[in-house]
Amino acid sequence: MTETIEYRVTDFDCPTCASNLERALKRAEGVEDAEVHYTTGRVELGYDDGVTGPESFERTISNQGYTARPR
């Protein structure tokens, strides 16, 4: 079943940082859609909850060097 979740990430240095995070999230297993907005810090994810979940996203965001706060 498709679920959605939003995070706020405010420690981007540049638009490329946001693009790199978006690319990393889209490569994660079970992620169906990912949008990362540099100007607002909003991260929107659509995912298959039978495959993945918030802990995986938070780990991916952390591994990219950012802090995720659930919205």
CATH class of 2-70: alpha beta
Q: Give the per-residue pLDDT at 44.
A: 98
Answer whether 0.75 is exceeded by the pTM.
yes
Q: Give the per-residue pLDDT at 21.
A: 97
Q: Give the per-residue pLDDT at 71.
A: 84
Query: What percent of the chain shows pLDDT beyond 90?
Result: 96
Cβ distance 43 to 9 under 8 Å? Answer: yes
Counting as low any pLDDT under 50, the low residues of the chain are none
pLDDT, mean over the chain: 95
CA distance 23 to 1: 22
